[in-house]
Amino acid sequence: MRTFQQIGPLRTYLRGIRQEGKTIGFVPTMGALHAGHMSLVKRAEQDCDIVVMSIFVNPTQFGPNEDYNSYPRVLQQDLQLASNSGVDAVYTPSTEDMYPAGFQTLITPGPLAAYLEGEHRPGHFSGVCTIVAKLLNIVQPDRAFFGQKDYQQARIIEQMVHDLNFGYEVVVAPTVRAEDGLALSSRNAYLTEEQRAAACAISLGLNDALRAYTAGECSAKALREIVECRCRNEALVSLEYCSIVNSLTLEPVEEVCSVSAVILIAAKVGKTRLIDNILLPSRTS
Ligand code: AMP
């Protein structure tokens, strides 16, 4: 596996790959890799000739009171895991290379970023779009791979890639979960054993709602109540939002049946903020 810290050598390497007629799959990450990240690598391996991963904890997507400083950084462990999983090249830029003195251009996403995470984390998606755009411009992959785990992020990136004519295919892969249902996340490492057990209320609530939807419940209010009830019963879980929205526009829906919808949830377990979601496919399609 090749590792690159500098843009120049990475670009030279990738030019060579393209000249050989090979396709490039790209998996951007913030590191502290887990099976969720590795599922994107596996998918990229299936779809492309070579897989490039980036590991960069992006400061511009963290708010002033968020966990940028404490975010888990385990680069050597990550490189080992990436190498064992067949990643061909890892790009680990420095913050100075990504945001040199005088840097001033940020991407502003549109209405998809207005609600939910965008409302609770002002500026977050501008930071996400800016770093993803920079990385896509550097790597120029054929396909870029993102997780459904960060549903709103994936939709906003799809929209940016379309709006700005990036010409890369965006692939969104399913959420990988622990055996008890908790969505894998680098932030799960912050949880104590007790908090980790309590955090299951999030995915249990989402699954309860999916089951009720499958059994015929269409009211978004009723489905939300099912999720909220699970979380209320867990003293360590404090719900930030639970919204049922159109899966494309992310606008709130009242009745779910005729549109494809998604339940999006953010909750704090102790000081750790977790997000998750579940799709409610349209019954009419
Ligand atoms: P992160 O390192 O958290 O920025 O995530 C990097 C990529 O991995 C993003 O596209 C995430 O959506 C994706 N990802 C994170 N957790 C999971 C998971 N449990 N299952 C699938 N993809 C994930």
Does 146 score more than 70 pLDDT?
yes
Find the CATH number of the domain harbouring 211: 3.30.1300.10
Give residues with Cβ within 8 angstroms of 22, minimum separation 6. Answer: 49, 50
Kindly state whether residues 218 and 132 are assigned to the same domain: no
Q: What pLDDT shows up at residue 257?
A: 83
Domain range for residue 103?
2-173
Kindly state whether residues 9 and 145 are assigned to the same domain: yes
**37 catalytic, yes or no?**
yes
Number of domains in the chain: 2
Please check whether residue 284 lies inside any domain of the structure: no
Centre of ligand 1 to C-alpha 174, Å, is: 10
Q: What pLDDT shows up at residue 285?
A: 59
Q: What percent of the chain has pLDDT over 90?
A: 97
pLDDT tens for 230-243 read 999 999 999 999 99
Residue 131: CB within 6 Å of ligand 1?
no
Nearest CA to ligand 1 atom 11: 147
Kindly state whether residues 165 and 198 are assigned to the same domain: no
pLDDT tens for 48-97 read 999 999 999 999 999 999 999 999 999 999 999 999 999 999 999 999 99
Find the CATH number of the domain harbouring 31: 3.40.50.620
Please check whether residue 283 lies inside any domain of the structure: no
Domain final residue, candidates 114, 138, 173? 173
Residue 152: CB within 6 Å of ligand 1?
no
* Alpha-carbon span 131 to 99, nearest angstrom: 10
Kindly state whether residues 158 and 76 are assigned to the same domain: yes
What is the pTM (predicted TM-score) of this model? 0.97
* Alpha-carbon span 210 to 189, nearest angstrom: 27
Task: Measure Cα distances from 269 to 27, 90, 230 in Å.
Answer: 28, 32, 14
Query: Tokens 């990240």 map to which residue?
Result: 37
Domain final residue, candidates 138, 173, 208? 173
Quick one: which atom of ligand 1 is closest to the CA of 33? 2
pLDDT band for 156, please (50, 70, 90 cuts).
Answer: very high
Average pLDDT, the chain: 97
* Alpha-carbon span 124 to 190, nearest angstrom: 21
What does the pLDDT average to over 205-229? 97
Kindly state whether residues 8 and 90 are assigned to the same domain: yes
Q: What pLDDT shows up at residue 92?
A: 98
